[in-house]
Structure 1
């Protein structure tokens, strides 16, 4: 999957999490295009870090981070300095011609 194709659903998931879980629904987004792919960061003022849900196949929600984990090469949620919220980032590496 090209990095842009993977980045789109992952970014959509992070913004949806802001809308659904962050008071005031405010965030800052950084999209950095690199020779090796793309890095996306979404920062907000809510201190609760995302966590992977239990893999309950009958649950009504909670699959977004599983999707993000499946389509990105790496992701993480980190507390911002001074307890001022968090940044969740992901990276999608570009694929070479031979698919590696």
Structure 2
């Protein structure tokens, strides 16, 4: 289900993520995963006009994959922030605290399913993976959880 995120949404969604990491016996991944989730949600708030997104948490083995899908066709870019810049460090933080991250354009079917973006303009999914030290390398497969709109 889709979410409309705002300036204070990240705190609620971090708590939900922590709950699932605890339930999946992966609490040691929470600091990195929560920070990366916060940065991806901040990008939705800042750069997606309607602030709509879909959020997925996937658990597999000793890791978690978090996906944030939105309807904006603009792909995020890692950029060098100057020492006095107030922004521009989010993706560098995601890169620093996660094991892998990336961006994938959405297929129109997926985007239509979530009701995101404008018809004829593909959106994107920004994702990251955190894996417990000594765990398997890539997160995929079973244990998928769809986070639904917690405010309805």
TM range (shorter): 0.7 to 0.9
Alignment partners' CA distance in 1, 2:43 and 2:122? 17
Unaligned runs of 5+ in 2: 1-27, 109-120, 135-152
Bigger strand share: 1
- How far the C-alpha of 1:78 sits from its partner, in A, is 1.4
Structure 2 counterpart of 1:70: 96
CA drift of 1:77 comes to: 1.1
2:85 maps to 59
Partners of 1:4 and 1:38 within 8 A in 2: no
Bigger-Rg structure (1/2): 2
| Structure 1, unpaired ranges of 5+ | none
TM-score of the superposition, structure 1-length normalised? 0.87
Considering only aligned residues, what root-mean-square deviation do their CA atoms show, in Å? Answer: 1.3
Deviations 1:16-73 (A, max 9, x none): 1101110110000000111130000000000111110124233221011111110000
Q: How far apart are the structure 2 equivalents of 1:15 and 1:30?
A: 12
Matched with 1:42 is 68
**Which residue of the partner structure matches residue 44 of structure 2?**
18
State the 4+ residue runs in structure 1 displaced beyond 6 angstroms. none
TM-score (norm: length of structure 2): 0.59
Matching of residue 94 in structure 1 with residue 132 in structure 2:
yes
Q: Match of 2:111?
A: none
Q: Which moved more, 1:32-41 or 1:52-61?
A: 52-61
